[in-house]
Structure 1
Amino acid sequence: MIAKNDDSINYAEMEKWLNNYFLDPLTSYLDQTQFQIDLYETNKEWIVEAILSEYDASEITVLIEKEKLTITAMIPTPSKQSQKRIRVIEFPFQVISQKVTATFMEGILEIFISKTDGEVANNRYITLQ
């Protein structure tokens, strides 16, 4: 693991971003039309929680690209039209530079973004555990 310097993330900017995210009417709209997302912060990480109770783990993908975290949930159907729901969260820092892990249990997807541990800065899919 690559240790991150605390200067790589502006925590005051992140706090402002979190406040704006929850006050944005689009956030509430997407919670109702796509799926609900909540954001939490601990001393060591930010946690993105998505409620995806009607999906299986095999129907969910998590992609990180630069500052973006994209969650896609898609139920395959026999017809050519799939039931696809997407949420994109743009962070005020390079998510690809952070260690990111994800778990999916009992319909809840949790994505953990480390504040202290970094990884190679590549766009990548995150494997659900």
Structure 2
Amino acid sequence: MENEKQSNSSDFLEIDDWLNVLMEDPFAWYDEHLPIDLYETSRDYIIEIDVSDLSITDVKLTFCGHELTFACTVQKPNNEGEQPIEKNVMLPFYLNDKDIEADYENRIIEIKIKKYSSHPSGAFSFQIPHFKH
């Protein structure tokens, strides 16, 4: 009987398990140059990427399946050129059927993923316009 419940369950049990693991290890996504935070409201999942320690010249976000890819170009110290950075984040829910918005303010990139969506989108990517550091 227990197996039937699990096989018929929705994403919510997976998300709950995934959030419990994240709460046990809050540094699971920690990167000293690119801290990423995830939290949830009643309507949205919210991912925040803190780019305050980086001199970023270009940002691209890609959403496909269960994966969010953050790619950017960073100006190296002392004008020694540029360096690409890419970070992949696996999420416990499918992104292609969600409404997703991104905003940049106070050196924080905020990505809002609607829990309930009426416009399935397929895989997509976009750049944050007028990105200024």
Deviation of 1:108 after TM superposition, in Å, equals: 0.2
Flag the structure with higher helix content: 1
Asked whether the equivalents of residues 99 and 117 of structure 2 are also in contact (C-alpha less than 8 Å), the reply is: yes
Look up the match of 1:17. 18
Aligned length: 119
Asked whether the equivalents of residues 55 and 107 of structure 1 are also in contact (C-alpha less than 8 Å), the reply is: no
The within-5 A match list for 1:1-129 is 9-24=10-25, 27=28, 30-32=30-32, 34-53=33-52, 54-56=54-56, 59-75=58-74, 82-128=82-128
Q: Distance in 2 between matches of 1:87 and 1:19?
A: 22
**For 1:12-53, what per-residue CA distance to the aligned partner results, in whole angstroms no more than 9, with x for missing partners?**
21021122234458725x422x40000010000000000012
Q: Distance in 2 between matches of 1:118 and 1:60?
A: 27
**For 1:60-104, what per-residue CA distance to the aligned partner results, in whole angstroms no more than 9, with x for missing partners?**
11100111011112126787x632222211112211111111001
**2:58 aligned partner, one-letter code:** E
Unaligned runs of 5+ in 1: 1-6
Q: Distance in 2 between matches of 1:69 and 1:8?
A: 24
TM-score, normalization by structure 2: 0.73
Q: Which structure has the larger Rg?
A: 2
Look up the match of 1:3. none
1:97 match: secondary structure: coil
Deviation of 1:59 after TM superposition, in Å, equals: 1.1
- Alpha-carbon RMSD across the aligned residues, in angstroms, is 2.8
Q: Distance in 2 between matches of 1:27 and 1:44?
A: 24
Unaligned runs of 5+ in 2: 1-7
Q: Distance in 2 between matches of 1:118 and 1:42?
A: 18
Asked whether the equivalents of residues 100 and 126 of structure 1 are also in contact (C-alpha less than 8 Å), the reply is: no
How has the CA–CA distance of structure 1 residues 9 and 124 changed in structure 2, closer, same or farther, with 3 Å as cutoff? Answer: farther
Look up the match of 1:4. none
